[in-house]
Structure 1
Amino acid sequence: MALEQNFKTLDVRDHLAATQMRGRNITFLDDFSRDQLDALFQAARQLEPFMRTGLDLLRGKVLYTLFFQPSTRTRCSHEDAMLRLGGSVITESDPLHNSSAAKNESLYDSLRVTSEYADVIVMRHPDDREALGALAELEGHVSPVISGGYGHVTHPTQGLLDCYTCWRAFGDLSRVTVAIATPDLSRARSGQSFALALAAMGAKIIYTGTSELRTPAVVRDKLVRMGAQFEEHFDLSESQNKELYIERSVDLIYLPGCSVKKDDPNREDFVKTMANYYLGMETLQEIRQKTGKVVGVHHSLPRNPGEFDFGIDNTEHQLYFRAIGFSVAIRMALLCAVVGVN
Structure 2
Amino acid sequence: MKPLKMTKMKTILSLVLLLFSLFPKAQASEPAKQKDAPLEVAVSIHLNKIYDINSVNQTYMIDGYLVLSWHDPKLKKKYCRKYGDKLVYENKEFPKDILVPSFEFINILGDREIINRRLIVNSDQNLIYNERFHGRFTTSMDFHKYPNDKQCFTIQLESFSMEKEDLVFVNPQLFPKVLDASYMEEWNILDKKDYVNEMMYNHLSANKKGESFSRCNFEIFAQRKIEYYLWKVFLPIGLLVVASWLVFWVKDFANQLNISFTLMLTMVTFNFFTSSLLPTLPYNTFIEIVIISGYISIFLTLIAIIFTYAYSKNKRTTVKINNFFQVFFPLLYILFIVLCVIIIFV
- What TM-score results when the alignment is normalised by the length of structure 1? 0.19
- What TM-score results when the alignment is normalised by the length of structure 2? 0.19
Q: Name which one, 1 or 2, has greater alpha-carbon Rg.
A: 2
Higher RCO structure (Cα 8 Å, ≥6 apart):
1
Higher strand share: 2
